[in-house]
Structure 1
């Protein structure tokens, strides 16, 4: 009798550097992933459409098209997690990539362990969102059904705006959200330039759900870009 075999998760790498393609293929296949490679933007978009990978790793500097445009093209028809991997380390390029629809950004040169950790976080997005009822990480517990927040088993009172920010970060846990993305979602189109409001509310949130608000472990700042809610309990996957 034939037994069904579990199909490995697939990764599409779009990069014009042969050495990077070879390295990523070696790393990812050793972890059990199926790997597809593309060295141009046009080839990458075609592969994304045909292969339907579980995650895309994308370089921004491609010979035939800017990586940001590749993200925008793919986002027209797919919400596949996209991890930008690039030698470009300018805040402006990072923000553009994230605002265009990328889920995370890792700068070359990169460490294998950090790369795999970022991939694991992004792949958690493949879980059905209907199961997201209670979120847990690092002493924080949020009952999303009843809108109750606990830290170190003690219930915390949040304002509606504070809860809105936290709920948004939970929905994208592990992912960098730009200032503009958060402001647009919580305050609306007229609030996208009010970064000082966001800083004030993030400071208040840290005072309520961090052991030390001056050295946060949950709500991390990405300087000049935005914020990230960390998943600190890998065994729990953050989601119950």
Structure 2
């Protein structure tokens, strides 16, 4: 069982993904969304095994967050799957994401990618 943190400012998407991931026997932590400047602090507090990170957030983009994760020794090992409705795969992988998933995606696509990232980790 992995501990997965969902960082997405769409509450409906968070609820759907939380249900799906819990059905797949994962522990799920939701970004509380209170302040985007606190995303990194919440990640450090929770120390998830994997982060499902949306590219577009209200005031920041996921690229900034994944770069910060990779620069810090305490978080550089955390696996990151980035998602977006635009094809930004190359940019996300170059920034340090482990994988990219284009929205909209089917639940089985996400689960397959999660297991793949977990095995490669």
Gaps of at least 5 residues in structure 2 are none
Partner of 1:81: 79
| Distance in 1 (alpha carbons) for counterparts of 2:40 and 2:89 | 20
Q: How far apart in 1 are the matches of 2:11 and 2:96? A: 26
RMSD (CA atoms): 1.4
Q: CA deviation at 1:108?
A: 0.9
Where structure 1 has 5 or more consecutive residues not aligned to the other structure, the ranges are 1-7, 127-240
Q: 2:23 is matched with which residue? A: 30
Name which structure has the greater RCO, CA cutoff 8 Å, separation 6+. Answer: 2
Q: Which runs of 4+ in 1 moved over 2 A?
A: 39-44
- Contact 1:57–1:83, Cα closer than 8 Å, also in 2: yes
| Contact kept? 1:25, 1:35, Cα under 8 Å | yes
Distance 1:94 1:74, change over 3 A: same
8 A contact 1:41–1:70 mirrored in 2:
no
TM-score normalised by the chain length of structure 1: 0.46
Which structure would you say has the larger Rg?
1
CA distance in 2, matches of 1:57, 1:41: 15
* 1:118 alignment partner, SS class: helix
